[in-house]
């Protein structure tokens, strides 16, 4: 007497094959997507009387950037202790990061 097809199939092998096919499909999808391009622009500014770091960064920032993060990063890059107290004539650099 013949066994039915349900009893003859090795379900463990079917499960492993299905998992491998799923991993291959995910890997193909994951690595076929375009990568994100990050461009960095450096902006230099000579401080004028009455300038604050917040006002300078808010004018220089890109539309997708947060002013708070830009001020914090600029303070670190230029070694500034107080964002509200800038000496006129000092040249500061602001790094603008654009993600495409």
Give the model confidence (pLDDT) of 59-100 as tens digits: 988 888 889 999 999 999 999 888 777 889 999 999 988 876
Determine the pLDDT at residue 38: 81
Segment 30-47 mean pLDDT: 84
- Look at the pTM and tell me if it is higher than 0.75: no
CA atoms within 13 A on the CB side of 14: 6
| Beta strand spans in 1-100 (E) | 38-46, 91-99
Please check the confidence at residue 1 and state whether its pLDDT lies above 80. no
Residue with tokens 């202790």: 81
Share of the chain above pLDDT 70, in %: 98
**44-79 core/surface letters (b: 16 or more CB in 10 A; e: else):** ebebeeebebeebbeebbeeebeeeebbebbbeeee
Strand 91-99 with 38-46, pairing: antiparallel
Rounded CA separation 8/18 (Å): 18
């Amino acid at each position: 007497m013949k066994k039915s097809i349900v009893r003859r199939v090795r379900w463990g092998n079917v499960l492993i094959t299905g998992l491998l096919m799923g991993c291959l499909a995910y890997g193909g999808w994951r690595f076929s997507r375009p990568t994100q391009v990050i461009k960095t622009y450096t902006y230099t500014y000579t401080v004028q009387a009455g300038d604050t770091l917040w006002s300078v960064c808010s004018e220089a920032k890109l539309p997708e950037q947060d002013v708070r993060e830009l001020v914090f990063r600029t303070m670190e890059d230029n070694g500034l202790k107080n964002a509200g107290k800038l000496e006129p004539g000092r040249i500061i650099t602001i790094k603008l990061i654009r993600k495409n």
